[in-house]
Amino acid sequence: MPMLVRTKVHTCWVGMRNRCNNPNNISYPYYGGRGIKVCRRWDKFKNFLADMGQPPSSKHTIERRNNDGNYTPSNCYWATRLVQSRNRPYHKLKPQIRTKIKWLYSQGHTQVFLAQLYGVSQGRISQVVRR
């Protein structure tokens, strides 16, 4: 099998591994920093490609069914950005929780505190507060 370097699927594989394994990666705090790992089988690109296949289109990227789970064959699938945006923790916060976050913020609680309290990123808290 020829190496598919610089293809969409290879770029995805490299990015996934960097997010989970490279503390210098800008996204590391949200992946490797949270304990998200890539399964050992996917240390080899050929195994990743065999398990995932090619993305259905150039608009598809890798997505995890369980956002707190690892990158494994049973937890991953190809999804569009629109589908992925619906799976973000911000969208999983129920309306009453978002209302409570806004109220707590108005009472002087920091975004860092609220992010820790609700188990989401500070960026998600910022989105809730601004909307």
Q: For every one of its 131 residues, what pLDDT tens digit does the chain have, with 9 covering 90 and above? A: 455 567 889 999 999 999 999 999 988 888 999 899 999 999 999 999 999 999 999 889 999 988 889 999 999 999 887 777 666 655 567 788 889 999 999 999 998 888 878 777 788 888 889 87
Measure the CA–CA gap between 4 and 55, rounded to whole angstroms. Answer: 13
pTM score, two decimals? Answer: 0.65
Provide the residue ranges of all domains of the chain, joining segments of one domain with +.
Answer: 8-86, 89-130
Q: What pLDDT score was predicted for residue 75? A: 94
- 13 CB burial (10 A radius; 0-12, 13-18, 19+): buried
Measure the CA–CA gap between 91 and 16, rounded to whole angstroms. Answer: 22
Question: What is residue 75's DSSP assignment?
Answer: T
CB 46 within 8 A of CB 34: no
Q: What pLDDT score was predicted for residue 1? A: 46
Q: What pLDDT score was predicted for residue 96? A: 86
